Amino acid sequence: MKPSGRLAFGWLALCGPLAPRRFRQFDWIWSLALLPFFGQGIAGLGTICLHAADAVAAADSDQYRWSCTTADEQTGKPVAGVRVSWEFRRPYSPAKGVEPSLWKQRFISDPQGRYEVAVPKSVVDAATRSVGIEYHHPQYLPSRHSSWPLRMPADPAGPGLDQRHIRLEPGVKVSGLIVRPDGSPAGNVPVMFARSRDGFGDSNGGYLHGFWTRTDSRGRYLFYTRNTWPQRIHWYPDDYEANSRALTQTFGEQETIRLKPGLTLAGQVVDAEGQPLAEIVVQASTGTRVPYLFAKSDGRGQFRFPPLPPGNYRLAAVRSYHDTRTGESLSATLPFPIPARDYVLSDATASAEPRAVLQAAPLIRIPVAVADGDGHPLAAATLSIGDTSDFMNAVLAQPVKSQPGRYEFRFPRDQFIRDLQLRRSLDEAAFYQLNREHPPVAAEAIVLGKAQADLPLVCVTVRKAAELTVRAYTAEGETPSGRIQIEASYGADTENRIQAAERANRDPAANFMAPRMIHIQPAGRPWNPTFQQLVPGEPIVVSVRSDAYTAEPETVTLQEGEHRAIELRLRKIEAAAGRSPSR
């Protein structure tokens, strides 16, 4: 018996191109099965639809699925057409110095402000417990490069960020015109809105360097920014000077900006012997209103900035900078710190010839050996100086050729070595050793002070870190309510070991920074935190901070690579249990 037209249409509606999106991904099933279906009757219909349903179930079992919304923060009404991207990253990689991307996908919310996200479970399970969220809508404040705590599909809604439900902040409209000196439109000019030239402040809704846009072919710009003041508009033309101006307090249409010719500033970067250094990024800054500008040295060590207004400029070699054409954050080579210098730019000093010279100071060498707990050399380690004081411009050690596990810093003589550190993943703990007669000590970093000459070998041992999960209950076995904070800290034994190591290391003198730990608190569950990157063998004291509960501190010592879960029994504080506090 052949199926009726009604049955055939019903099958197509369920499994064919008219199907809901959940089934439409199996278009290949119905296209291949269409011909046999019409020749086989209702039995064929049941078989085909069961196969499709089985395929959907299999896909669901391998994926996490989120139903997401985009809405106006003030009115709660759905916002359609929001461009959203999700990104999952692996835990921090010491070898690469970043969290490598695992998965990234873009979505657009529908007319009801909804979109669906399906991510393989293998990706989520291998990623950090956060998700990178970016979103953009022409009439709301955008967000970029932001990391949100990951909420799983079945997690309850709670306070704070929730990637499942994005609430867009309305902005105020800013528009205007930029023209060349002759009055003609200046098209394709990058424009940044921010509280200051750093790009941070009230107008920064997730952008690392302010809000960016460009003028159109008519020289006009249009953007929405946060309704707070003061803010400035910064412009970055190629052939005229970059500058900035305060936005009016009423926002809206701004006074026309007429570009001005600028002055040329060129220079050269050289080492202590006067040899050119290539690929060095130099930042130029003056006053508080002229935007930061950047230039990169070529093979001859020479650099040249876009046109600049006159002023007293500070020129500094940097490792991290941003592209003034797009606002994107970038990194450059900075093998060692190079002293900054001042340069007065005027009509008399402006020149395309490299007059401003940045010269590196004489260098000392700091050798480092990195090995695992069994003494095997580690060939993919990343070591830095300056992470805790100036992370963006920290100096990285270079591997020594043909010597696995050996690295070397080149650092300016007579400059403070504020923090020498191994960049490590969450499952690693680091132990540092300078004096061979004193055992390695767990530390976050070591501070070596000023170096007058090459330093002796610094040894770093990497061992597997431990992890501790705490779950707090009331005396009745219930989940606590109200404000509560579970804390963990290293005990007095750790501090005593650090002090003993500092007494043993006087030539050169070294200070050991106490080891840190990573505190991960699930959204909406402050009574169930996890502490990672714990040093094995070091006692850890777990305590509670709360207005409603108290508990006896518990000391835990974990072994290398151990993952342990403990329970903390809480007692209600008497006033919180029923007695009204006195006023």
What is the pLDDT averaged over residues 135-146? 81
Greater model confidence, 193 or 96: 193
Nearest one of 290, 319, 327, 331 to 209, comparing CA atoms: 327
Say which residue the tokens 């391998």 belong to. 62
Indicate the pLDDT class of residue 94, thresholds 50, 70 and 90: low
What's the confidence (pLDDT) of residue 344?
Answer: 95
What's the confidence (pLDDT) of residue 42?
Answer: 36
Distance CA 340, CA 358 (A): 7
What is the pLDDT averaged over residues 196-217? 67
Say which residue the tokens 């509960």 belong to. 549
Helix runs in 80-166, H state only: 121-126
Cis peptide bond prior to 230, omega within 30° of 0:
yes
What's the confidence (pLDDT) of residue 57?
Answer: 40
CA 251 from centroid of its chain's CA atoms = 31
Distance CA 555, CA 563 (A): 15
What's the confidence (pLDDT) of residue 99?
Answer: 67
What's the confidence (pLDDT) of residue 16?
Answer: 38
Checking if the pLDDT of 312 tops 50, the result is: yes
Indicate the pLDDT class of residue 47, thresholds 50, 70 and 90: very low
What's the confidence (pLDDT) of residue 214?
Answer: 92
What is the pLDDT averaged over residues 270-297? 93
Distance CA 369, CA 377 (A): 8
Distance CA 388, CA 354 (A): 34
What's the confidence (pLDDT) of residue 14?
Answer: 35
Indicate the pLDDT class of residue 197, thresholds 50, 70 and 90: confident
Indicate the pLDDT class of residue 59, thresholds 50, 70 and 90: very low
Greater model confidence, 543 or 577: 543
DSSP strands (E only) in 478-550: 484-490, 511-513, 518-520, 530-534, 540-546, 549-550
Greater model confidence, 393 or 361: 361
Rounded to 5 degrees, φ, ψ at 450 are: -80, 140
Extract the tokens encoding 244.
Answer: 């900035």
Checking if the pLDDT of 207 tops 60, the result is: no
Identify which of 189-198, 306-315, 435-444 has the greatest average pLDDT: 306-315
Contacts of 475 by beta carbon, 8 Å cutoff, 6+ apart:
569, 570, 571, 572
Nearest one of 395, 440, 403 to 421, comparing CA atoms: 395
217-237 pLDDT tens trace: 999 999 888 888 888 899 999
What's the confidence (pLDDT) of residue 576?
Answer: 47
What's the confidence (pLDDT) of residue 20?
Answer: 36
Q: Which of 15-19, 131-135, 308-312, 375-379 has the lowest mean pLDDT?
A: 15-19
Longest dimension (CA), the chain: 97
Q: Are strands 172-179 and 257-258 parallel, antiparallel or unpaired?
A: parallel
Checking if the pLDDT of 11 tops 50, the result is: no
**What percent of the chain clears pLDDT 90, i.e. is strictly above it?**
53
Distance CA 486, CA 529 (A): 7
Distance CA 307, CA 347 (A): 12
Checking if the pLDDT of 45 tops 50, the result is: no
What's the confidence (pLDDT) of residue 483?
Answer: 82
Distance CA 85, CA 332 (A): 27
DSSP strands (E only) in 180-231: 190-194, 211-214, 220-225
Checking if the pLDDT of 445 tops 70, the result is: yes
Checking if the pLDDT of 84 tops 60, the result is: yes
What's the confidence (pLDDT) of residue 360?
Answer: 94
What's the confidence (pLDDT) of residue 34?
Answer: 33
> In degrees, to the nearest 5, what angle opens at C-alpha 216 toward C-alphas 306 and 207?
65
What's the confidence (pLDDT) of residue 326?
Answer: 79
What's the confidence (pLDDT) of residue 247?
Answer: 93
What's the confidence (pLDDT) of residue 54?
Answer: 42
Distance CA 566, CA 571 (A): 17
What is the pLDDT averaged over residues 441-457? 89
